[in-house]
Structure 1
Protein backbone atom coordinates (compact mmCIF):
# COMPACT_ATOMS: atom_id res chain seq x y z
CA UNK A 1 0.00 0.00 0.00
CA UNK A 2 2.82 2.37 0.87
CA UNK A 3 4.44 1.72 -2.51
CA UNK A 4 1.13 2.37 -4.25
CA UNK A 5 0.66 5.62 -2.39
CA UNK A 6 4.21 6.65 -3.32
CA UNK A 7 3.57 5.90 -6.99
CA UNK A 8 0.35 7.91 -6.89
CA UNK A 9 2.26 10.85 -5.41
CA UNK A 10 5.01 10.60 -8.07
CA UNK A 11 2.57 10.21 -10.99
CA UNK A 12 1.55 13.91 -11.19
CA UNK A 13 5.23 14.87 -11.19
CA UNK A 14 5.95 12.48 -14.07
CA UNK A 15 2.98 13.83 -16.01
CA UNK A 16 4.00 17.44 -15.46
CA UNK A 17 7.56 16.63 -16.55
CA UNK A 18 6.30 14.98 -19.75
CA UNK A 19 4.06 17.97 -20.41
CA UNK A 20 7.03 20.31 -19.97
CA UNK A 21 9.18 18.23 -22.32
CA UNK A 22 6.62 17.79 -25.11
CA UNK A 23 6.52 21.45 -26.27
CA UNK A 24 10.30 21.46 -26.57
CA UNK A 25 10.36 18.26 -28.62
CA UNK A 26 7.49 19.58 -30.73
CA UNK A 27 9.30 22.87 -31.22
CA UNK A 28 12.49 21.13 -32.37
CA UNK A 29 10.55 19.04 -34.87
CA UNK A 30 8.83 22.16 -36.16
CA UNK A 31 12.14 24.01 -36.60
CA UNK A 32 13.69 21.00 -38.36
CA UNK A 33 10.72 20.86 -40.72
CA UNK A 34 11.06 24.60 -41.43
CA UNK A 35 14.79 24.19 -42.05
CA UNK A 36 14.19 21.31 -44.44
CA UNK A 37 11.55 23.28 -46.35
CA UNK A 38 13.83 26.32 -46.57
CA UNK A 39 16.66 24.21 -48.02
CA UNK A 40 14.32 22.65 -50.59
CA UNK A 41 12.98 26.09 -51.47
CA UNK A 42 16.51 27.44 -52.01
CA UNK A 43 17.45 24.46 -54.19
CA UNK A 44 14.41 25.18 -56.36
CA UNK A 45 14.45 28.99 -56.27
CA UNK A 46 18.14 29.84 -56.78
CA UNK A 47 18.34 28.46 -60.36
CA UNK A 48 15.10 30.24 -61.25
CA UNK A 49 16.36 33.51 -59.75
CA UNK A 50 19.69 33.10 -61.55
CA UNK A 51 17.84 32.53 -64.84
CA UNK A 52 15.74 35.66 -64.32
CA UNK A 53 18.76 37.82 -63.49
CA UNK A 54 20.71 36.37 -66.42
CA UNK A 55 18.03 37.64 -68.78
CA UNK A 56 18.92 41.17 -67.62
CA UNK A 57 22.68 40.81 -68.18
CA UNK A 58 24.61 42.04 -71.18
CA UNK A 59 26.27 39.42 -73.36
CA UNK A 60 29.71 40.57 -72.20
CA UNK A 61 28.78 40.03 -68.56
CA UNK A 62 27.23 36.64 -69.28
CA UNK A 63 30.45 35.38 -70.88
CA UNK A 64 33.04 36.99 -68.61
CA UNK A 65 31.53 37.49 -65.16
CA UNK A 66 31.16 33.84 -64.15
CA UNK A 67 28.59 33.00 -61.47
CA UNK A 68 27.05 36.06 -59.89
CA UNK A 69 23.49 35.96 -58.64
CA UNK A 70 22.69 39.56 -59.55
CA UNK A 71 23.98 41.49 -62.57
CA UNK A 72 26.33 44.43 -62.28
CA UNK A 73 23.86 46.57 -64.23
CA UNK A 74 20.28 45.75 -65.21
CA UNK A 75 19.99 45.58 -68.99
CA UNK A 76 16.59 45.51 -70.70
CA UNK A 77 17.99 45.25 -74.22
CA UNK A 78 17.52 41.47 -74.28
CA UNK A 79 13.76 41.77 -73.90
CA UNK A 80 13.65 44.62 -76.42
CA UNK A 81 15.47 42.47 -78.98
CA UNK A 82 13.18 39.52 -78.26
CA UNK A 83 9.98 41.49 -78.77
CA UNK A 84 11.33 43.28 -81.85
CA UNK A 85 12.22 40.01 -83.59
CA UNK A 86 8.95 39.12 -85.32
CA UNK A 87 10.43 37.27 -88.29
CA UNK A 88 12.74 34.46 -87.14
CA UNK A 89 11.53 34.29 -83.52
CA UNK A 90 8.00 35.72 -83.03
CA UNK A 91 7.80 35.03 -79.30
CA UNK A 92 4.49 36.85 -78.79
CA UNK A 93 2.86 34.83 -81.58
CA UNK A 94 4.19 31.64 -80.02
CA UNK A 95 2.78 32.63 -76.64
CA UNK A 96 -0.62 33.33 -78.18
CA UNK A 97 -0.55 29.98 -79.98
CA UNK A 98 0.20 28.20 -76.71
CA UNK A 99 -2.53 30.07 -74.83
CA UNK A 100 -5.10 29.21 -77.52
CA UNK A 101 -4.06 25.55 -77.74
CA UNK A 102 -3.82 24.95 -73.97
CA UNK A 103 -7.10 26.74 -73.18
CA UNK A 104 -9.19 24.99 -75.83
CA UNK A 105 -7.55 21.64 -75.02
CA UNK A 106 -8.35 22.07 -71.32
CA UNK A 107 -12.00 22.96 -71.94
CA UNK A 108 -12.49 19.94 -74.18
CA UNK A 109 -10.70 17.70 -71.66
CA UNK A 110 -13.12 18.74 -68.91
CA UNK A 111 -16.11 17.92 -71.14
CA UNK A 112 -14.74 14.58 -72.32
CA UNK A 113 -13.50 13.22 -68.99
CA UNK A 114 -16.63 14.27 -67.10
CA UNK A 115 -18.92 12.50 -69.57
CA UNK A 116 -16.65 9.45 -69.82
CA UNK A 117 -16.24 9.23 -66.06
CA UNK A 118 -20.02 9.36 -65.69
CA UNK A 119 -20.40 6.49 -68.13
CA UNK A 120 -17.85 4.30 -66.35
CA UNK A 121 -19.18 5.13 -62.88
CA UNK A 122 -22.95 5.58 -63.08
CA UNK A 123 -24.09 3.66 -66.17
CA UNK A 124 -24.32 -0.14 -66.35
CA UNK A 125 -23.44 -1.82 -69.63
CA UNK A 126 -21.86 -5.11 -70.60
CA UNK A 127 -18.07 -5.17 -70.32
CA UNK A 128 -17.88 -1.77 -68.64
CA UNK A 129 -15.24 -2.63 -66.04
CA UNK A 130 -13.27 -4.86 -68.42
CA UNK A 131 -13.10 -2.07 -70.99
CA UNK A 132 -12.09 0.49 -68.38
CA UNK A 133 -9.26 -1.55 -66.87
CA UNK A 134 -8.04 -2.62 -70.31
CA UNK A 135 -7.72 1.01 -71.40
CA UNK A 136 -6.15 1.90 -68.04
CA UNK A 137 -3.54 -0.83 -68.52
CA UNK A 138 -2.77 0.33 -72.07
CA UNK A 139 -2.23 3.86 -70.76
CA UNK A 140 0.80 2.64 -68.80
CA UNK A 141 2.73 2.10 -72.04
CA UNK A 142 5.33 4.82 -72.70
CA UNK A 143 3.98 7.68 -74.79
CA UNK A 144 6.82 7.41 -77.33
CA UNK A 145 5.35 4.09 -78.47
CA UNK A 146 2.43 5.98 -80.02
CA UNK A 147 4.41 8.76 -81.69
CA UNK A 148 4.62 7.23 -85.17
CA UNK A 149 1.00 5.92 -85.29
CA UNK A 150 -0.25 9.24 -83.89
CA UNK A 151 1.66 11.21 -86.50
CA UNK A 152 0.30 8.98 -89.28
CA UNK A 153 -3.25 9.64 -88.07
CA UNK A 154 -2.66 13.40 -87.81
CA UNK A 155 -1.11 13.45 -91.26
CA UNK A 156 -4.03 11.50 -92.74
CA UNK A 157 -6.47 13.98 -91.22
CA UNK A 158 -4.50 16.91 -92.62
CA UNK A 159 -3.79 18.36 -89.18
CA UNK A 160 -0.01 18.74 -89.51
CA UNK A 161 0.97 22.37 -88.81
CA UNK A 162 -2.47 23.08 -87.33
CA UNK A 163 -3.65 23.64 -83.77
CA UNK A 164 -5.83 20.51 -83.94
CA UNK A 165 -2.70 18.38 -83.84
CA UNK A 166 -2.15 19.64 -80.29
CA UNK A 167 -5.75 20.05 -79.14
CA UNK A 168 -7.39 16.73 -80.00
CA UNK A 169 -4.78 14.09 -78.95
CA UNK A 170 -4.89 13.40 -75.24
CA UNK A 171 -8.44 14.58 -74.62
CA UNK A 172 -9.46 11.22 -73.13
CA UNK A 173 -6.44 10.70 -70.87
CA UNK A 174 -7.06 7.66 -68.71
CA UNK A 175 -5.37 9.25 -65.71
CA UNK A 176 -7.95 12.03 -65.63
CA UNK A 177 -10.81 9.63 -66.35
CA UNK A 178 -9.65 7.41 -63.47
CA UNK A 179 -9.71 10.35 -61.04
CA UNK A 180 -13.17 11.43 -62.14
CA UNK A 181 -14.53 7.88 -62.01
CA UNK A 182 -13.16 7.31 -58.51
CA UNK A 183 -14.64 10.60 -57.36
CA UNK A 184 -18.04 9.74 -58.82
CA UNK A 185 -17.96 6.32 -57.18
CA UNK A 186 -17.96 8.15 -53.85
CA UNK A 187 -21.21 9.95 -54.66
CA UNK A 188 -24.23 8.05 -53.27
CA UNK A 189 -26.25 6.44 -56.04
CA UNK A 190 -29.40 7.21 -54.11
CA UNK A 191 -29.22 10.64 -55.74
CA UNK A 192 -29.49 9.02 -59.19
CA UNK A 193 -32.39 6.81 -58.14
CA UNK A 194 -34.30 9.71 -56.62
CA UNK A 195 -33.82 11.74 -59.78
CA UNK A 196 -34.98 8.86 -61.99
CA UNK A 197 -38.09 8.49 -59.87
CA UNK A 198 -38.81 12.15 -60.69
CA UNK A 199 -38.39 11.37 -64.38
CA UNK A 200 -34.85 12.72 -64.92
CA UNK A 201 -32.82 11.35 -67.81
CA UNK A 202 -29.15 10.33 -67.64
CA UNK A 203 -28.10 13.63 -69.18
CA UNK A 204 -30.21 15.55 -66.64
CA UNK A 205 -28.66 13.58 -63.78
CA UNK A 206 -25.17 14.17 -65.15
CA UNK A 207 -25.63 17.88 -65.79
CA UNK A 208 -27.71 18.93 -62.79
CA UNK A 209 -26.60 16.55 -60.02
CA UNK A 210 -23.27 14.89 -60.74
CA UNK A 211 -21.43 17.70 -62.53
CA UNK A 212 -21.72 20.25 -59.68
CA UNK A 213 -20.47 17.63 -57.20
CA UNK A 214 -17.38 16.69 -59.24
CA UNK A 215 -16.24 20.30 -59.61
CA UNK A 216 -13.19 19.84 -57.28
CA UNK A 217 -11.68 16.97 -59.25
CA UNK A 218 -12.44 18.68 -62.55
CA UNK A 219 -10.46 21.71 -61.37
CA UNK A 220 -7.49 19.47 -60.59
CA UNK A 221 -7.69 17.77 -63.99
CA UNK A 222 -8.08 21.13 -65.74
CA UNK A 223 -4.94 22.53 -64.08
CA UNK A 224 -2.93 19.42 -64.93
CA UNK A 225 -4.23 19.43 -68.50
CA UNK A 226 -3.39 23.09 -69.06
CA UNK A 227 0.15 22.82 -67.70
CA UNK A 228 0.69 19.53 -69.53
CA UNK A 229 -0.44 21.02 -72.85
CA UNK A 230 1.59 24.18 -72.28
CA UNK A 231 4.79 22.29 -71.38
CA UNK A 232 4.47 19.59 -74.04
CA UNK A 233 7.71 19.61 -76.03
CA UNK A 234 8.29 16.48 -78.09
CA UNK A 235 4.93 16.31 -79.88
CA UNK A 236 4.83 19.95 -81.13
CA UNK A 237 8.40 19.63 -82.38
CA UNK A 238 7.23 16.70 -84.52
CA UNK A 239 3.98 18.12 -85.92
CA UNK A 240 5.03 21.74 -86.53
CA UNK A 241 7.38 23.06 -89.18
CA UNK A 242 5.77 26.46 -89.77
CA UNK A 243 7.46 29.02 -87.50
CA UNK A 244 4.37 31.22 -87.21
CA UNK A 245 2.14 28.35 -86.02
CA UNK A 246 4.49 26.86 -83.41
CA UNK A 247 3.67 26.88 -79.69
CA UNK A 248 6.23 28.40 -77.38
CA UNK A 249 7.91 25.10 -76.42
CA UNK A 250 8.76 24.26 -80.04
CA UNK A 251 9.80 27.88 -80.54
CA UNK A 252 12.28 27.69 -77.67
CA UNK A 253 14.03 24.80 -79.42
CA UNK A 254 14.30 26.96 -82.51
CA UNK A 255 15.75 29.75 -80.39
CA UNK A 256 18.65 27.53 -79.37
CA UNK A 257 19.86 27.68 -82.97
CA UNK A 258 19.25 31.43 -83.17
CA UNK A 259 20.46 32.57 -79.75
CA UNK A 260 22.59 29.61 -78.66
CA UNK A 261 26.31 28.83 -78.71
CA UNK A 262 27.04 31.55 -76.09
CA UNK A 263 26.17 34.31 -78.55
CA UNK A 264 22.90 35.58 -77.10
CA UNK A 265 22.39 33.71 -73.83
CA UNK A 266 20.59 36.66 -72.27
CA UNK A 267 17.98 36.70 -75.03
CA UNK A 268 17.57 32.94 -74.88
CA UNK A 269 17.02 33.11 -71.12
CA UNK A 270 14.63 36.04 -71.51
CA UNK A 271 12.55 34.02 -73.96
CA UNK A 272 12.38 31.15 -71.48
CA UNK A 273 11.26 33.52 -68.71
CA UNK A 274 8.49 34.91 -70.92
CA UNK A 275 7.37 31.34 -71.62
CA UNK A 276 6.80 30.53 -67.94
CA UNK A 277 4.87 33.70 -67.07
CA UNK A 278 1.38 32.39 -68.11
CA UNK A 279 1.68 29.18 -66.08
CA UNK A 280 3.05 31.17 -63.13
CA UNK A 281 0.05 33.51 -63.26
CA UNK A 282 -2.26 30.49 -63.52
CA UNK A 283 -0.76 29.03 -60.37
CA UNK A 284 -1.02 32.32 -58.46
CA UNK A 285 -4.71 32.74 -59.29
CA UNK A 286 -5.71 29.07 -59.04
CA UNK A 287 -3.67 27.84 -56.07
CA UNK A 288 -6.61 28.35 -53.69
CA UNK A 289 -8.84 26.16 -55.82
CA UNK A 290 -6.08 23.61 -56.29
CA UNK A 291 -5.48 23.25 -52.54
CA UNK A 292 -9.21 22.95 -51.92
CA UNK A 293 -9.45 20.29 -54.63
CA UNK A 294 -6.76 18.04 -53.18
CA UNK A 295 -9.44 16.43 -51.01
CA UNK A 296 -11.31 14.43 -53.61
CA UNK A 297 -14.28 14.06 -51.31
CA UNK A 298 -14.71 17.80 -50.75
CA UNK A 299 -17.63 17.94 -53.17
CA UNK A 300 -19.67 15.45 -51.10
CA UNK A 301 -21.43 17.05 -48.19
CA UNK A 302 -23.26 14.83 -45.80
Structure 2
Protein backbone atom coordinates (compact mmCIF):
# COMPACT_ATOMS: atom_id res chain seq x y z
CA UNK A 1 0.00 0.00 0.00
CA UNK A 2 1.56 3.23 -1.15
CA UNK A 3 1.51 6.27 1.00
CA UNK A 4 1.11 9.47 -0.93
CA UNK A 5 1.60 13.00 0.35
CA UNK A 6 -1.36 15.30 0.09
CA UNK A 7 -1.26 18.33 -2.06
CA UNK A 8 -1.85 20.57 0.93
CA UNK A 9 1.18 19.36 2.76
CA UNK A 10 2.49 22.00 5.09
CA UNK A 11 5.85 23.35 4.18
CA UNK A 12 8.26 23.43 7.00
CA UNK A 13 11.14 25.82 6.93
CA UNK A 14 13.98 25.75 9.34
CA UNK A 15 13.99 28.85 11.58
CA UNK A 16 17.42 30.19 12.25
CA UNK A 17 18.54 30.28 15.84
CA UNK A 18 18.17 33.65 17.58
CA UNK A 19 21.44 35.46 17.48
CA UNK A 20 22.30 38.43 19.61
CA UNK A 21 23.66 41.55 18.00
CA UNK A 22 27.09 42.97 18.71
CA UNK A 23 25.65 45.21 21.43
CA UNK A 24 24.38 42.89 24.14
CA UNK A 25 22.63 44.20 27.22
CA UNK A 26 25.79 43.98 29.30
CA UNK A 27 27.77 45.80 26.65
CA UNK A 28 25.16 48.55 26.49
CA UNK A 29 25.17 48.95 30.25
CA UNK A 30 28.97 49.20 30.28
CA UNK A 31 28.85 51.80 27.51
CA UNK A 32 26.25 53.83 29.42
CA UNK A 33 28.33 53.62 32.60
CA UNK A 34 31.43 54.72 30.72
CA UNK A 35 29.54 57.65 29.21
CA UNK A 36 28.28 58.73 32.65
CA UNK A 37 31.75 58.52 34.12
CA UNK A 38 33.23 60.57 31.27
CA UNK A 39 30.54 63.23 31.59
CA UNK A 40 30.99 63.33 35.38
CA UNK A 41 34.75 63.75 35.05
CA UNK A 42 34.38 66.53 32.47
CA UNK A 43 31.81 68.39 34.58
CA UNK A 44 33.95 67.94 37.71
CA UNK A 45 37.01 69.35 35.97
CA UNK A 46 35.05 72.34 34.68
CA UNK A 47 33.57 73.03 38.11
CA UNK A 48 36.86 72.57 39.97
CA UNK A 49 38.93 74.68 37.58
CA UNK A 50 38.11 78.07 39.21
CA UNK A 51 38.90 76.62 42.64
CA UNK A 52 42.24 75.33 41.38
CA UNK A 53 43.10 78.72 39.86
CA UNK A 54 42.25 80.36 43.17
CA UNK A 55 44.48 77.96 45.12
CA UNK A 56 47.40 78.38 42.70
CA UNK A 57 47.13 82.17 42.78
CA UNK A 58 46.82 82.26 46.57
CA UNK A 59 49.77 79.97 47.24
CA UNK A 60 52.18 81.25 44.61
CA UNK A 61 51.10 84.71 43.58
CA UNK A 62 50.71 83.58 39.96
CA UNK A 63 47.55 84.63 38.19
CA UNK A 64 45.73 83.58 35.06
CA UNK A 65 45.15 87.28 34.38
CA UNK A 66 48.85 87.76 33.65
CA UNK A 67 50.44 87.39 30.24
CA UNK A 68 51.70 83.87 30.94
CA UNK A 69 49.24 81.10 31.80
CA UNK A 70 50.74 78.71 34.35
CA UNK A 71 48.37 76.45 36.28
CA UNK A 72 51.09 74.69 38.27
CA UNK A 73 52.64 76.65 41.15
CA UNK A 74 56.41 76.86 40.92
CA UNK A 75 57.18 78.38 44.31
CA UNK A 76 54.68 77.71 47.07
CA UNK A 77 54.62 80.55 49.59
CA UNK A 78 52.30 82.01 52.21
CA UNK A 79 53.28 85.62 51.55
CA UNK A 80 49.84 86.45 50.21
CA UNK A 81 48.17 85.28 53.42
CA UNK A 82 50.71 87.13 55.56
CA UNK A 83 50.12 90.32 53.61
CA UNK A 84 46.35 90.02 53.99
CA UNK A 85 46.50 89.40 57.74
CA UNK A 86 48.95 92.26 58.27
CA UNK A 87 46.96 94.81 56.26
CA UNK A 88 43.40 94.01 57.30
CA UNK A 89 41.67 92.62 60.43
CA UNK A 90 40.89 89.31 58.75
CA UNK A 91 40.78 87.45 62.05
CA UNK A 92 38.12 89.82 63.37
CA UNK A 93 36.10 89.55 60.17
CA UNK A 94 36.32 85.76 60.31
CA UNK A 95 35.13 85.78 63.92
CA UNK A 96 32.23 88.07 62.98
CA UNK A 97 31.22 85.76 60.15
CA UNK A 98 31.29 82.74 62.45
CA UNK A 99 29.20 84.52 65.10
CA UNK A 100 26.55 85.85 62.72
CA UNK A 101 26.35 82.64 60.69
CA UNK A 102 26.16 80.34 63.71
CA UNK A 103 23.43 82.29 65.52
CA UNK A 104 21.38 82.85 62.37
CA UNK A 105 21.66 79.19 61.35
CA UNK A 106 20.61 77.88 64.76
CA UNK A 107 17.57 80.15 64.94
CA UNK A 108 16.63 79.54 61.30
CA UNK A 109 16.82 75.75 61.61
CA UNK A 110 14.74 75.73 64.80
CA UNK A 111 12.07 77.97 63.27
CA UNK A 112 11.98 76.02 59.99
CA UNK A 113 11.67 72.62 61.67
CA UNK A 114 8.96 73.72 64.09
CA UNK A 115 6.97 75.56 61.41
CA UNK A 116 7.36 72.68 58.97
CA UNK A 117 6.09 70.24 61.61
CA UNK A 118 3.09 72.45 62.26
CA UNK A 119 2.16 72.71 58.58
CA UNK A 120 2.71 68.98 58.01
CA UNK A 121 1.17 67.26 61.04
CA UNK A 122 -0.89 69.70 63.10
CA UNK A 123 -4.44 70.82 62.44
CA UNK A 124 -5.41 74.45 62.76
CA UNK A 125 -7.75 76.84 60.90
CA UNK A 126 -6.68 78.21 57.52
CA UNK A 127 -3.57 76.02 57.42
CA UNK A 128 -3.53 75.65 53.64
CA UNK A 129 -4.17 79.35 52.84
CA UNK A 130 -1.46 80.37 55.29
CA UNK A 131 1.01 77.97 53.71
CA UNK A 132 0.18 79.23 50.22
CA UNK A 133 0.60 82.81 51.44
CA UNK A 134 3.96 81.85 52.88
CA UNK A 135 5.04 80.29 49.58
CA UNK A 136 4.00 83.39 47.67
CA UNK A 137 6.64 85.39 49.53
CA UNK A 138 9.32 83.39 47.69
CA UNK A 139 8.37 85.24 44.50
CA UNK A 140 9.28 88.63 46.01
CA UNK A 141 12.87 89.67 45.16
CA UNK A 142 15.12 90.40 48.10
CA UNK A 143 15.96 93.85 46.72
CA UNK A 144 12.26 94.80 46.82
CA UNK A 145 12.07 94.54 50.62
CA UNK A 146 15.39 96.12 51.53
CA UNK A 147 13.91 99.56 52.27
CA UNK A 148 10.98 98.42 54.49
CA UNK A 149 13.23 95.87 56.17
CA UNK A 150 15.81 98.55 56.93
CA UNK A 151 13.14 100.90 58.30
CA UNK A 152 11.86 98.13 60.56
CA UNK A 153 15.31 97.25 61.86
CA UNK A 154 16.14 100.92 62.33
CA UNK A 155 12.93 101.46 64.31
CA UNK A 156 13.96 98.63 66.62
CA UNK A 157 17.33 100.31 67.18
CA UNK A 158 19.31 97.35 65.84
CA UNK A 159 21.24 99.06 63.03
CA UNK A 160 24.96 98.79 63.67
CA UNK A 161 24.65 95.51 65.61
CA UNK A 162 24.82 91.84 64.70
CA UNK A 163 21.12 91.44 65.54
CA UNK A 164 20.25 93.55 62.50
CA UNK A 165 21.62 90.69 60.39
CA UNK A 166 20.51 87.80 62.58
CA UNK A 167 16.83 88.61 63.14
CA UNK A 168 15.79 89.14 59.47
CA UNK A 169 17.43 85.82 58.59
CA UNK A 170 15.81 83.92 61.47
CA UNK A 171 13.03 82.51 59.26
CA UNK A 172 13.53 81.20 55.73
CA UNK A 173 10.51 80.40 53.57
CA UNK A 174 12.34 77.73 51.60
CA UNK A 175 13.50 76.10 54.84
CA UNK A 176 9.91 75.89 56.11
CA UNK A 177 8.76 74.47 52.79
CA UNK A 178 11.56 71.89 52.78
CA UNK A 179 10.78 70.86 56.37
CA UNK A 180 7.09 70.45 55.59
CA UNK A 181 7.80 68.29 52.54
CA UNK A 182 10.12 66.08 54.56
CA UNK A 183 7.75 65.66 57.51
CA UNK A 184 4.84 64.72 55.28
CA UNK A 185 6.69 61.44 54.74
CA UNK A 186 6.78 60.67 58.49
CA UNK A 187 4.01 58.13 59.19
CA UNK A 188 1.11 59.70 61.03
CA UNK A 189 0.53 56.35 62.76
CA UNK A 190 3.67 56.91 64.85
CA UNK A 191 2.34 60.20 66.14
CA UNK A 192 -1.09 58.74 66.84
CA UNK A 193 0.45 55.81 68.70
CA UNK A 194 2.50 58.21 70.81
CA UNK A 195 -0.65 60.18 71.66
CA UNK A 196 -2.37 56.99 72.75
CA UNK A 197 0.59 56.24 75.02
CA UNK A 198 0.13 59.64 76.64
CA UNK A 199 2.91 61.63 74.97
CA UNK A 200 2.34 65.34 74.59
CA UNK A 201 3.15 67.52 71.58
CA UNK A 202 6.58 68.50 72.90
CA UNK A 203 7.50 64.89 73.71
CA UNK A 204 6.32 63.71 70.29
CA UNK A 205 8.30 66.41 68.52
CA UNK A 206 11.47 65.82 70.56
CA UNK A 207 11.44 62.00 70.80
CA UNK A 208 9.88 60.95 67.49
CA UNK A 209 10.02 63.69 64.88
CA UNK A 210 13.52 65.06 65.48
CA UNK A 211 15.32 61.65 65.49
CA UNK A 212 13.72 60.89 62.12
CA UNK A 213 14.69 64.31 60.74
CA UNK A 214 18.48 64.10 60.88
CA UNK A 215 18.89 64.37 57.07
CA UNK A 216 16.55 67.36 57.07
CA UNK A 217 18.53 69.06 59.82
CA UNK A 218 21.74 68.54 57.85
CA UNK A 219 20.24 70.06 54.69
CA UNK A 220 18.75 73.05 56.48
CA UNK A 221 22.00 73.66 58.35
CA UNK A 222 24.16 73.56 55.23
CA UNK A 223 21.79 75.74 53.20
CA UNK A 224 21.55 78.33 55.95
CA UNK A 225 25.31 78.26 56.51
CA UNK A 226 26.05 78.82 52.83
CA UNK A 227 23.54 81.63 52.47
CA UNK A 228 24.46 83.50 55.65
CA UNK A 229 28.21 83.02 55.21
CA UNK A 230 28.11 84.45 51.68
CA UNK A 231 25.57 87.20 52.34
CA UNK A 232 26.97 90.56 51.29
CA UNK A 233 24.34 93.21 50.55
CA UNK A 234 22.30 93.24 53.76
CA UNK A 235 25.28 93.14 56.18
CA UNK A 236 26.89 95.93 54.16
CA UNK A 237 23.79 98.09 54.70
CA UNK A 238 23.23 97.55 58.44
CA UNK A 239 26.79 96.99 59.75
CA UNK A 240 28.21 100.49 59.84
CA UNK A 241 31.29 99.84 61.95
CA UNK A 242 34.18 98.25 59.95
CA UNK A 243 35.06 96.19 63.03
CA UNK A 244 31.70 94.41 62.63
CA UNK A 245 32.19 93.56 58.97
CA UNK A 246 32.06 89.95 57.78
CA UNK A 247 34.41 88.28 55.30
CA UNK A 248 32.32 88.92 52.13
CA UNK A 249 32.36 92.64 52.93
CA UNK A 250 36.07 92.53 53.69
CA UNK A 251 36.73 91.11 50.23
CA UNK A 252 35.71 94.42 48.71
CA UNK A 253 38.65 96.18 50.36
CA UNK A 254 41.05 94.08 48.29
CA UNK A 255 39.60 95.16 44.94
CA UNK A 256 41.23 98.35 43.70
CA UNK A 257 39.73 100.76 41.21
CA UNK A 258 42.66 100.67 38.81
CA UNK A 259 44.78 97.76 40.02
CA UNK A 260 44.04 94.65 42.05
CA UNK A 261 46.44 92.45 43.98
CA UNK A 262 45.07 89.11 42.81
CA UNK A 263 47.39 87.12 45.06
CA UNK A 264 46.00 88.76 48.19
CA UNK A 265 42.47 88.68 46.80
CA UNK A 266 42.63 84.96 46.07
CA UNK A 267 44.13 84.30 49.51
CA UNK A 268 41.24 86.14 51.13
CA UNK A 269 38.76 84.30 48.91
CA UNK A 270 40.26 80.95 49.87
CA UNK A 271 39.86 81.85 53.54
CA UNK A 272 36.22 82.71 52.83
CA UNK A 273 35.17 79.64 50.81
CA UNK A 274 37.40 77.08 52.53
CA UNK A 275 35.11 76.39 55.53
CA UNK A 276 32.09 75.87 53.29
CA UNK A 277 33.92 73.38 51.08
CA UNK A 278 35.07 71.40 54.12
CA UNK A 279 31.57 71.37 55.63
CA UNK A 280 30.02 70.17 52.39
CA UNK A 281 32.57 67.38 51.97
CA UNK A 282 31.96 66.20 55.54
CA UNK A 283 28.15 66.30 55.42
CA UNK A 284 27.50 65.60 51.75
CA UNK A 285 25.90 62.20 52.48
CA UNK A 286 23.32 63.77 54.78
CA UNK A 287 22.85 66.63 52.32
CA UNK A 288 21.96 64.32 49.41
CA UNK A 289 19.83 62.05 51.60
CA UNK A 290 17.85 64.99 52.93
CA UNK A 291 17.00 66.25 49.46
CA UNK A 292 16.15 62.74 48.26
CA UNK A 293 13.65 62.16 51.07
CA UNK A 294 12.05 65.61 51.08
CA UNK A 295 10.22 65.40 47.76
CA UNK A 296 12.52 67.94 46.07
CA UNK A 297 13.85 66.70 42.74
TM range (shorter): 0.7 to 0.9
Tell me which residue corresponds to 1:229. 228
Deviation of the 1:275 alpha carbon? 0.9
Tell me which residue corresponds to 2:293. 296
4+ residue stretches of structure 1 with deviation over 6 A? none
Tell me which residue corresponds to 1:264. 261
> Is it true that 1:171 corresponds to 2:178 in the alignment?
no
Deviations along 1:90-114, one digit per CA (max 9) or x if unpaired, are 1111111111111121111121111
> Is it true that 1:282 corresponds to 2:279 in the alignment?
yes
Structure 2 unaligned runs (5+)? 1-9
Change (3 A) 1:2 1:139: same
Alignment of 1:155-194 (within 5 A): 155-194=154-193
CA contact (8 A) 1:62 1:265 kept: no
Aligned-pair RMSD on alpha carbons? 2.4
Tell me which residue corresponds to 1:46. 49
Change (3 A) 1:213 1:19: farther
Q: Secondary structure at the match of 1:10?
A: coil
Structure 1 unaligned runs (5+)? none
CA contact (8 A) 1:83 1:91 kept: yes
Q: Equivalent of 1:78, from 62, 77, 80? A: 80
CA contact (8 A) 1:50 1:70 kept: no
CA contact (8 A) 1:55 1:78 kept: yes
Q: Secondary structure at the match of 1:125?
A: coil
Change (3 A) 1:114 1:263: closer
Alignment of 1:71-220 (within 5 A): 71-85=73-87, 89-220=88-219
Q: Count matched residues.
A: 286
Deviations along 1:34-81, one digit per CA (max 9) or x if unpaired, are 22222212222222211211123448x787543221344333221111
Change (3 A) 1:191 1:30: closer
Q: In 2, distance between residues paired with 1:155 and 1:74?
A: 47
Tell me which residue corresponds to 2:68. 66
Q: In 1, distance between residues paired with 2:64 and 2:215?
A: 45
Q: In 2, distance between residues paired with 1:114 and 1:276?
A: 27
Higher normalized helix content (fraction of residues): 1
TM-score for the superposition, normalised by structure 2: 0.87
Deviation of the 1:224 alpha carbon? 0.5
Change (3 A) 1:188 1:295: same
Q: In 2, distance between residues paired with 1:154 and 1:165?
A: 6
Structure ID, larger Rg = 2
Change (3 A) 1:55 1:10: same
Q: Secondary structure at the match of 1:94?
A: helix
CA contact (8 A) 2:97 2:247 kept: yes
